Amino acid sequence: MFSLLQFNADFSNRFGISMCTLCGGGIHEHVPWKKPFRAVYCTNFGVKVTQILMAFSLWLGGPPEGRIPGDTETDDSWGLGDVPAHCQTDVYLIHDLCWHRLLGHFGPGELHLGSLFEALELLPYTPGYSHRTLRSNSPLFLRTSFEHQDIRRDGRFALPVLEELMRLGRDPPPSAPSTTRRRRTSHRRRPGRDGFQRLPLEIIEEIAILLPTRDVLHLRCASRGFVAIFSSRTFWKTRFEINSERGFLLPVLRNYFERRGGRQAEREMDWRLLYHCTCKLSCSWGFRLEIGTWAVLRWIRDTAMALHAGRPRPLDFRGMGLYHYDNSLERGTYREVVEIHAPVRQIAVSVMHETARPSVTGLEFFFEDGSRAMLGYSCRGAREIHGETRWKHEDMPNLYFYPGVRVTIDIENFHGFSVGRDEASVCGVMILPGMGYGVGSSDTLERFAVGDYIQPRPYHPCYSSLDEVYQVTAVSDSQKIIDLGVLGRGRRRLNQISEERWQEVFNWLEENGQIPAH
């Protein structure tokens, strides 16, 4: 089969760079941590992982990163995965540093290469890939940008110090002694009414560790036996394990303990207070990107384990659709969720321009059953525009100036959004009405794009197409939508583009002299 690995190698010959499947960063010799990499690939005998390979400059005649590895370069430390039941579709190049970050999410005996390979096939395109749809009737256009990789050190975006995250935290008030005494007396009076009160704290802690924090806190209202969990240091510490809600703080905590003397600092840590302080984060935009990377690695682990065990796998995501993994927000923001319970027939997009760029302030969904749901808001007095018009080309200085516009778009199917954004807000969206529309075509942009939407660039838009959308999530502040994500069911990476189409792309590049003839 014509693999993406071959395409990646030919892309490297043309542009001097390959891309990591997990982080989207380049694989090249100019940055030390980007030079060593591995390949995860499928053979007739199973899934394999290479030993560490080193990237060399293709412009200096070095070997291409995308070559098929030899048998002597295979690392069998992780065993040999089963051949996936479906046709081979891809080979994945991964920075060695990113590979070890992924391994950190798997416990002993949890990693199965065949399931991991299938999970990688379900992963959306990472920021380093071009998000432009390849259509047989459109010229090939590949563009990529790596500005966002410059802010990373040793593979991580900017990590804050722990004191920065806790600077607004306050110790909880002490319980009133009389109230505590009365409650303890009440427990002793009626032990038979609540079965959990018969259990020792150790068993209650083991039960609570398996549940999301929100469910545990709700259980306190149903059973007095769970009241003690609120003060359990053991329980709150588990919230900071790598696959728990605050697992993204693990490197921050390691840095903190190294500076403060190791085990003694860990014993003195107030885990409950730290959890409370990190529900509302005061952090940089770069750290939000780091949290997103952690969520993706956790999703890969959850998906691979579900596939191996034959359990229903997590929903596919596009954009920033994994907020439920960390349940944290930046200060001054809030989260809204719309369940797509019926076919969507119209979407109204509200956009207003008050800063350097326009900002999307609201999205309203009109369902086939007559119901509607709103994310964000629409400014009163906004200009109402409906249907397919040429309103974007009218002779006006700026259509989005206060009070902005509210554009209602008719659609037959809803498959997600392509989002143009910066670190401050969502600047524009394009509704994705189906797989038959090219993301970059002028007709699609004319009909379905609203706001300051630029043809997709890999470092900030979220190419969010799914076969079925079940849920749309928006994070907003008081003025605008900051982020968007969707959950649903999608398809494997290359199923959207047939083997014949990849061969056409390859032939087109070869005929135009953009890759060497073979």
* Domain spans in the chain, listed from the N-terminal domain onward: 4-153+496-511, 162-283, 316-492
| 273-307 pLDDT, tens digit each | 999 989 988 888 778 888 988 999 999 999 999 99
The pTM score is: 0.81
Higher pLDDT, 315 or 2: 315
Name the pLDDT band for 454 (thresholds 50, 70, 90).
low
Three-class SS state of 413 = coil
Q: How far apart are CA 415 and CA 259, in angstroms?
A: 48
Token pair in block for residue 331? 């200060």
φ and ψ at 413, to 5 degrees? -140, 150
Higher pLDDT, 475 or 190: 475
**Most distant CA pair in the chain: distance in Å?**
86
CB neighbour class for 157 (10 Å; exposed up to 12, middle 13-18, buried from 19): buried
Residue 445 confidence (pLDDT) above 90: no
User: Mean pLDDT, to the nearest integer, of 182-208?
Assistant: 69
| pLDDT at res. 449 | 80
| pLDDT at res. 9 | 46
Residues 6+ apart with CB under 8 A from 383: 399, 403, 404, 405, 406
Residue 239 confidence (pLDDT) above 90: yes
| pLDDT at res. 44 | 73
| pLDDT at res. 189 | 45
| pLDDT at res. 344 | 94
Q: How far apart are CA 482 and CA 375, in angstroms?
A: 11
| 336-376 pLDDT, tens digit each | 999 999 999 999 999 998 877 889 999 999 999 999 999 99
Q: How far apart are CA 114 and CA 365, in angstroms?
A: 39
φ and ψ at 177, to 5 degrees? -60, -40
User: Mean pLDDT, to the nearest integer, of 162-190?
Assistant: 60
Architecture (CATH level 2) of domain 316-492: Aligned Prism (2.100)
Pairing of strands 46-50, 36-43: antiparallel
| pLDDT at res. 190 | 53
Mean of all residue pLDDT scores within the chain: 75
β-bridge mates for residue 250, sequence order = none
| pLDDT at res. 472 | 95
| 126-171 pLDDT, tens digit each | 654 433 333 333 333 333 334 444 556 667 777 888 888 888 766 6
Name the pLDDT band for 184 (thresholds 50, 70, 90).
very low
Q: Which helix (H) or strand (E) holds 42?
A: strand 36-43
φ and ψ at 189, to 5 degrees? -70, -40
| pLDDT at res. 510 | 60
- Percentage of the chain beyond pLDDT 70 is 67
Three-class SS state of 335 = strand
| pLDDT at res. 420 | 80
